[in-house]
Amino acid sequence: MTTAVEELEAGSRLIYLDHAATTPVRHEVLDAMLPYFSQAFGNPSSLYAIAGESRNAIDEARARVASVLNCRTSEVVFTGGGTEADNMAIKGVASTFDEPADIIISDVEHHAVIHAAEQLEHDGHHVISVPVDQYGIVDPADVASYLGDRDAVVSIMYANNEVGAINDISEISRLVKQHGSQQGTTVVMHTDAVQASGKLTLDVKTLGVDFLSLSAHKIHGPKGVGVLYARRGVKIDPLIAGGGQERQRRSGTENVPGIVGMGVALVLAENERLEFCEHTRGLRDRFLAAVTERVSGVVINNHPQHSLPHIAHISIPGLEGEPMLLGLDFKGICASSGSACSSASIEPSHVLLAMGMSHELAQGSLRFSFGKDSTQDDVEYSVNALADVVDQLRGMPSMSARVSAV
């Protein structure tokens, strides 16, 4: 009988430690979705019975999402994912302003927010990016200090997708709303909560936000579906014109199976949130302690308290993320790097650079993100595998040495 480690070394199993990137669809979610692919396949906008089944399924999913967000069902907009939800909130609000507005984001936002803001800048809006501390956290007072006498859209992520840093969205919302009241301007607050679902409260009344973005595939739901919470009374123009679905806010025939899956996945994630946090925090802390012991010089980039429980982010001086990931992949471990690769170069993560990290150290960064099914054996094997990969890479001659020896 072979051990788990022997099976992994033989390439027969995977240790998946990239849950911040995506997650497998849960069987409960898939079971709920399946009828709407083939049996109850009707278009929700039609009038006959099977169309009514689809329409009712969407209504039920909307109610499920609203129950988690503590909002009205009419404030739940289904989208094609978190990226669309981010774009819809930022661009949709900015387009309602009569004059150019301030678009305030942080230096560590997801590219869905950064690039949306850049497009608005081309249209004449004024984009302001707020700095972060060494852990990637935004100071609420800094956000408020950048507000002026113009209308504004503020978009600050709830939790960072790379290092797991958690922002105080409630306090940011309070301060920016206070500023708007004092100045007599419209200040709309949006948060990208894609990484926060299933880990932090999503109660929009507690958070004080006008808009909040979610994505199903981060919480064991299907890819290609998301949610935008849009507070009633806040003006927003649709990004997609057409048949006027989603109360005229997002046209296009609804992705019924995806929407059903989103609703089930979000409720399951919320119901299991405390258990998930306790489980993954234990794994993460054990992983970081063991890595610190086994790998010399390792730098831990997580905030000691204000960090998502399932993300472990480290940097290893003198090495690059890509060869480490390839070495881990060879050993059956799926993780991710802090670097974005292109055909010409490897650029360090904008998040890590914004945190004040050097280019060299940022290029040697790795993210391990644990899930509900991750185990202590996964941690032990992964730490040992990482230590082996690091030792092998550190034992290799540098590129310059190999070139000069030829």
Which distant-in-sequence residues (6+ apart) come within 8 Å of 327 by Cβ?
385, 388, 389, 392, 393
| Residues 333-344 as b or e (16 or more Cβ within 10 Å = b) | bbbbbbbeeeee
Partners of 164 in the beta sheet?
none
CATH topology of domain 27-271: Aspartate Aminotransferase; domain 2 (3.40.640)
CATH topology of domain 4-17+273-397: Aspartate Aminotransferase, domain 1 (3.90.1150)
Show which residues are catalytic. 341
Q: Which residues of the chain have pLDDT under 70?
A: 1-12, 338-346, 396-406
Separation between Cα atoms, residue 10 and residue 367, nearest integer Å: 24
Q: Give the per-residue pLDDT at 47.
A: 83
| Domain map (residue ranges) of the chain | 4-17+273-397, 27-271
Partners of 333 in the beta sheet?
15
What does the DSSP 8-state code read for residue 16?
Answer: E
C-alpha distance from residue 296 to each of 229, 302, 383, 394 (Å): 45, 18, 13, 11
The pLDDT tens digits of the residues spanning 231-270 come to 999 999 999 999 999 888 999 999 999 999 999 999 999 9
pTM of the model: 0.93
Cβ atoms 76, 61 nearer than 8 A: no
What does the DSSP 8-state code read for residue 43?
Answer: -
Separation between Cα atoms, residue 76 and residue 267, nearest integer Å: 14
The tokens 């939800």 sit on which residue? 85
Q: Give the per-residue pLDDT at 12.
A: 64
Which distant-in-sequence residues (6+ apart) come within 8 Å of 319 by Cβ?
364, 390, 393, 394
Sign of the dihedral defined by the CA atoms of residues 68, 69, 75, 80, in that order: negative
